[in-house]
Amino acid sequence: MKNGLSIFAAVAIMIAATGIAPAQKPGKRFVLPHIVKYAVTVLHPFDASQGSPTALGSALIRGKDGNFYGTTGQGGPDGEGIIFRVSPAGAFTTFLSHFGGRGGPNCLIQADDGPFYGTTSAGGDYGNGSFIKVSSSGYLITLHSFNTYDDGGAPNGLCLSNDGSFYGTTLLGGSVVVDRIAFKEKRLGGGTIFKVDVLGSC
């Protein structure tokens, strides 16, 4: 069984590396081709002043300029994280480092018109998170503030739909009406799925 598992593991690695499955026939053995090996190159090591991309930061995205963009959840001059840019060759630049108490974005998406959009889990008018826009020159504006009860709180991700709107979820909030026989009580829910447009209408 151990050898069988090793063969299946090798096949899985081969498909992941090359995208090609080995040719085989029912009841016949097959020969695995040479497994492609890849070298890992460190483009940039993060230090304490920049924060960590794994500490509430977002995954890398590829910008329309060919560079990669991402966020850290800590570090920067205000301790709120940064938005960074790194070239395929490893040239690293801090793209934005001041968020005015919002906290750094926990996700980042570049729209077709060029600007970046994201959410913060804190800050905004109510302290419960915000939907932000960052221009290609690094200028940040808040498009929507989450108030917890109506639209949720602590948004934690976005995706851009074909209709041009953004969809995401919140960790907290949303109002739930509990009917206790004759008395209806409005309670805080356990999160929401939200839709917001590029103007911040949620």
Interval 166-196: pLDDT, tens: 999 998 888 766 655 555 556 677 889 999 9
Burial (CB < 10 A; 0-12, 13-18, 19+), residue 123, is: buried
Q: Virtual CA dihedral for 144, 150, 154, 156, nearest 10 degrees?
A: -80
pLDDT surpassing 80 at residue 57: no
Query: 83 lies in a domain?
Result: yes
**Domain total in the chain:** 2
Domain contains 202: no
Residue 195 vs residue 199, higher pLDDT: 195
Q: Is the pLDDT of residue 54 over 80?
A: no
Looking from the CA of 25 toward its CB, the CA atoms found within 13 Å total 1
Q: Are residues 106 and 151 in the same domain?
A: yes
Mention every residue, 6+ apart, whose C-beta is less than 8 A from residue 44: 86, 90, 92
Report the percentage of the chain scoring pLDDT > 70: 73
Tell me the C-alpha distance between 82 and 145, whole Å. Answer: 20
Structure confidence by residue, pLDDT tens digits, 133-152? 998 888 899 999 998 888 88
| Dist. CA 33–CA 12, nearest whole Å | 12
18 lies in which domain range? 1-38
Are 29 and 69 part of one and the same domain?
no
What pTM was computed for the model?
A: 0.72
Q: How confident is the model at residue 8 (pLDDT cuts 50, 70, 90)?
A: very low
- Under the phi-then-psi rule, with left for phi > 0, alpha for psi from -120 to 50, and beta for the rest, what region is 95? alpha
- Does 100 share its domain with 161? yes
Structure confidence at residue 68 (pLDDT): 92
What percent of the chain clears pLDDT 90, i.e. is strictly above it? 21
pLDDT at 71: 87
pLDDT at 174: 81
The CA distance from 69 to 41, in Å, is 18
Predicted confidence at residue 91, as pLDDT, reads: 92
**Residue 117: which of 79, 63, 170 has the closest Cα?**
63
- Per the DSSP assignment, residues forming a β-bridge with 123 are 128
Residue 29 sits in the same domain as residue 54: no
